[in-house]
Amino acid sequence: MPGERLTVRTTSEIGRFPGAAPPTRVELTIQNEGEKKREEGGCLWWLRKMCPCCCKHPNTTSYDVTDKVEFTKLPTPAAIVDPPKPKPENGEAKETDEGKLSVCSVDLLSSKAGQNRQEHHTDLYHRDELILRRGQTFQIEVELNRPFSTDTDKLYLELKTGSLPLVSKGTHVIIPLVKHLEDERWEAKIVEQNGNKIKLSINSPANAVIGLYELTVTTSSLKGDATTTYTSSKNIVMLFNPWCEEDSVFLDNEEERKEYVLNDTGRIYYGTEKQIGARTWNFGQFHEGILEACLFIMEKSEMPPSGRGDPVNVVRVISAMINAQDDYGVLVGNWSGDYSDGVSPTAWSSSVEILRKYHSTNGTPVSYGQCWVFSGITTTVLRCLGIPSRSVTNFQSAHDTDVSLTTDVYLNENLEPIDYLNRDSVWNFHVWNDCWMARPDLPPGNGGWQAVDATPQETSQGTFRCGPASVNAIRSGHVYLKHDTPFVFAEVNSDKIYWQRNLDGTFKQIYSEKKAVGHCISTKAVGSDKRADITSLYKHEEDSEEERIAVETASRYGSKPDVYSTPVAEDVSVEVKVDGEGPRVGADAQLKILVKNLSSQPRQATIHSQVAVMYYTGVLKGTIKKEQMPVELSPNEEKTIDWVLPYQQYQSQLVDQAAFMLTLCGRVTETKQVLANQTTFRLRTPDITITPIGDAVVGKEMAAKITFTNPLPSTLKGVVFRVEGLGLQEGHEVVVGDVGAHSKVTLTEHFIPSQPGPRKLVASLDCEQLSQVHGVADIVVLEQ
């Protein structure tokens, strides 16, 4: 369909401006459902509050009968059995006893533009609730039925979280009224009094439990008369505080706090070390419904509320809950290539839709994800809760299945891989997360960045989770420190050992690669979309004495502590070169094999090459080409061999990521030196081009033209585009259908920006024949 133009446009009443035209999926039903629930009749609400046993909430079926987390209602603890409060009219209380002090109303001062939200860096969260960070003072206003007197009246606050609040567990907090506030404790002080109104400044400790709190205000006289209790209709949300020096997640750099806590978009890297690709990901931690979803995940995890003040506990639980492997978590992993009953992992470009869908379905796992999706969601949840985090990609990432801290490759007598024995694998890339925190549970020096991985690979203490593991401990080889440090160490710094089968069935070690894994460890740079290489944080320079000491130290704690290769004199080397950005899908793949003779004598060798289609996880689908290449080298000669994989040989064999592994093995005739090399490469896919049209102004309609050209000489079946832009329009699908060979598709999106500032419009393509096709446009939205 060359030249065909598809224009997609729907209208909807979304966000701040009626008539905003994001053609959205029905994510609205999630919010509408929540609004409907909040708008139930006042009488029914009052009856439920006064007599919960008679007017129960309707049950909602779920895996563990965990209710949706909503800001509007927190279960009232049974301990409060005060008589009904007098109802105020026009700001004045109706007194039941002459002179008795009671609360008429409480203003949490929760406006986004107010002092509380601004000072606590929570003004970006979508809802107008009081969202706070621990270890920092905040203010509320209390209206009483008469002026408060410190000589005759008594007042204190209570905060409760969880289903069974206990003072001893820090989940039931009693906040006294004091004359002077002190750090690191719950206290309140009257800072302003005007008639019947008092303004309180409240201090929280930096180790407070995070989550949803209910607030009550209790008043009485100093004589000990009967008390009155007022329960606020709105709840308070407490988060971790990277701005507070006493908080264990404190990050002492404002630009890094902006990047790792406040930035709601980012970049996730994929591909191979020689062909690094990048895609934009919308984390959306401040988006409508995401904070509720994150609190819901914590509730569903059944982690005791008393443990939610420790970021080590929280991160470990989140790493388990993001995958659905054993606890009905957020996302189902799928590496089969069949996503017909869900969404292809490469089609996602945002955490928002996934988290809102999980929450709105009361905890039904969403299908499907792979490592970069698990990482993107983990970044969203941790940043939303206030823990600095980032997505990290490790290229040539080893998967050690037997805790040997080596990656073992088994070859037969002819130096061909023995597939059924090669259980260890090296993924082209693997994406996990770093999160920032102190580690008081470890020896000094192990705080800072911690590796955490939500992709279900191996179990940890019986559950599919990984981390947090100290990056400093990984770098030093201190794999005896918790949590899951050996697994992450093997991913980034294990040796690859080659074994050859003897005629009697035994194996001998013939070669050791010390630089085979852990390359180009990447994350988005602070303050820009550039790639930052953080390999040096995870490992010392390759072949340095420090790096070898770290490997040997780690290996002592593995299942094969005595396996080390015997050094051999190496005067012939073989490596594979990829020109430019590498081969493209739909064309022949061309690489160069460079063989060097470093000696002053001639050398001969026969190189066996074998190329296989490979999932990015390192699992081989099947070999598609084999050949032998005799090589004769003069003294000090370098020879380049052109290697070609024709399109016709791979066109029907492609899997996700369009990846291949080229294995080279051989032996030098004169010295019996073994040559071995494994190189992964991918076929580059085309980008989606997004061109903004018109001025980008809040409340004013604009458009964007999205274009894509099919690179294949065959028809793409069932093409679907996914488009989303935080602050621009809701995420939605555009069904295009079949796209002919080398055809061009053009979509025109119409939408009304709802938020000012720099924004990103992201599009991705979902299609069985192509994956990792995406595009992004930077749009700066001006105020109206």
User: Are 307 and 374 spatial neighbours (Cβ–Cβ below 8 Å)?
Assistant: no
What's 235's domain CATH number?
A: 2.60.40.10
Q: Is residue 37, in this structure, part of any structural domain at all?
A: no
Domain match, 296 and 440 both = yes
**Among 703, 697, 745, 736, residue whose Cα is nearest residue 717:** 736
Which of 630, 653, 682 is the endpoint of a domain? 682
Query: Mean pLDDT, to the nearest integer, of 256-267?
Result: 97
Asked if residue 79 has pLDDT above 50, the reply is: no
Q: What is the pLDDT of residues 54-66, one digit of tens each?
A: 444 443 333 333 3
Domain match, 367 and 497 both = yes
Q: What is the pLDDT of residues 405-442, one digit of tens each?
A: 888 888 999 888 898 888 888 889 999 999 999 998 98
Catalytic residue among 104, 244, 294, 371: 371
- For residue 310, what is the enclosing H or E element? none
Asked if residue 43 has pLDDT above 70, the reply is: no
Higher-pLDDT residue of 53 and 115 is 115
pLDDT in the model for residue 56 = 44
Radius of gyration of the chain, Cα coordinates, nearest whole angstrom: 30
Q: What is the pLDDT of residues 478-490, one digit of tens each?
A: 899 999 999 999 9
Q: How far apart are CA 169 and CA 165, in angstroms?
A: 8
Domain match, 613 and 543 both = no
| Residues spanned by the domain of 465 | 264-557
Domain match, 474 and 492 both = yes
Cis? peptide before 483, omega within 30° of 0? yes
Tell me which residue has tokens 């569903």: 300
Which of 528, 557, 586 is the endpoint of a domain? 557
Domain match, 671 and 736 both = no
Share of the chain above pLDDT 90, in %: 60
Which of 622, 648, 682 is the endpoint of a domain? 682
Asked if residue 28 has pLDDT above 60, the reply is: no
Asked if residue 141 has pLDDT above 80, the reply is: yes
pLDDT in the model for residue 496 = 87
Higher-pLDDT residue of 576 and 36 is 576
- For residue 504, what is the enclosing H or E element? none
Query: Mean pLDDT, to the nearest integer, of 651-678?
Result: 81
Asked if residue 567 has pLDDT above 50, the reply is: no
CB atoms within 10 A of CB 758: 10
Q: How far apart are CA 443 and CA 421, in angstroms?
A: 39
Catalytic residue among 153, 327, 408, 453: 453
Share of the chain above pLDDT 70, in %: 85
Angle at 55 between CA 51 and CA 56, to 5 degrees: 110
User: Are 351 and 282 spatial neighbours (Cβ–Cβ below 8 Å)?
Assistant: yes
CA dihedral 279, 699, 72, 104 (to 10 degrees): 140
What's 445's domain CATH number?
A: 3.90.260.10
The identity of residue 149, as a single letter, is S
The DSSP symbol for 169 reads: G
Q: Is residue 249, in this structure, part of any structural domain at all?
A: no
Asked if residue 514 has pLDDT above 60, the reply is: yes
Domain match, 395 and 515 both = yes
Q: How far apart are CA 378 and CA 322, in angstroms?
A: 7
pLDDT in the model for residue 406 = 83
Domain match, 213 and 314 both = no
Cis? peptide before 468, omega within 30° of 0? yes
pLDDT in the model for residue 58 = 41
Q: Mean pLDDT in the chain?
A: 84
* 182 carries a ligand binding annotation: no
* 493 carries a ligand binding annotation: yes
Quickly list DSSP for 31-70. Answer: HHHHHHHHTS-HHHHHHHHH-TTTSPPPP---SS-PPPP-
Asked if residue 90 has pLDDT above 90, the reply is: no
Domain match, 202 and 120 both = yes
Catalytic residue among 120, 399, 430, 483: 430
Position 460 confidence tier, pLDDT thresholds 50, 70, 90: low
SS (H, E, C) 77-129: CCCCCCCCCCCCECCECCCCCCCCCCEEEEECCCCCCCHHHHHCCCCCCCCCC
Q: What is the pLDDT of residues 301-318, one digit of tens each?
A: 989 999 999 999 999 999
Query: Mean pLDDT, to the nearest integer, of 390-402?
Result: 91
Domain match, 514 and 371 both = yes
* 547 carries a ligand binding annotation: yes
pLDDT in the model for residue 313 = 95
Number of folded domains in the chain?
Answer: 4
453 tagged catalytic = yes
Query: Mean pLDDT, to the nearest integer, of 523-537?
Result: 97
pLDDT in the model for residue 579 = 86
Domain match, 323 and 222 both = no
Higher-pLDDT residue of 639 and 545 is 639
Q: Is residue 515, in this structure, part of any structural domain at all?
A: yes
User: Are 631 and 595 spatial neighbours (Cβ–Cβ below 8 Å)?
Assistant: yes
Domain match, 649 and 586 both = yes
Q: Is residue 585, in this structure, part of any structural domain at all?
A: yes
Asked if residue 279 has pLDDT above 70, the reply is: yes
Mean pLDDT check: name the lowest of 41-45, 130-134, 460-464, 680-684. 41-45
Q: What is the pLDDT of residues 280-294, one digit of tens each?
A: 999 999 999 999 999
Asked if residue 669 has pLDDT above 50, the reply is: yes
pLDDT in the model for residue 446 = 85
User: Are 547 and 541 spatial neighbours (Cβ–Cβ below 8 Å)?
Assistant: yes
Domain match, 588 and 707 both = no
**Among 234, 236, 233, residue whose Cα is nearest residue 209:** 236
Position 72 confidence tier, pLDDT thresholds 50, 70, 90: very low
Q: Is residue 60, in this structure, part of any structural domain at all?
A: no
Asked if residue 400 has pLDDT above 50, the reply is: yes
Tell me which residue has tokens 């040096």: 536
Q: Is residue 57, in this structure, part of any structural domain at all?
A: no
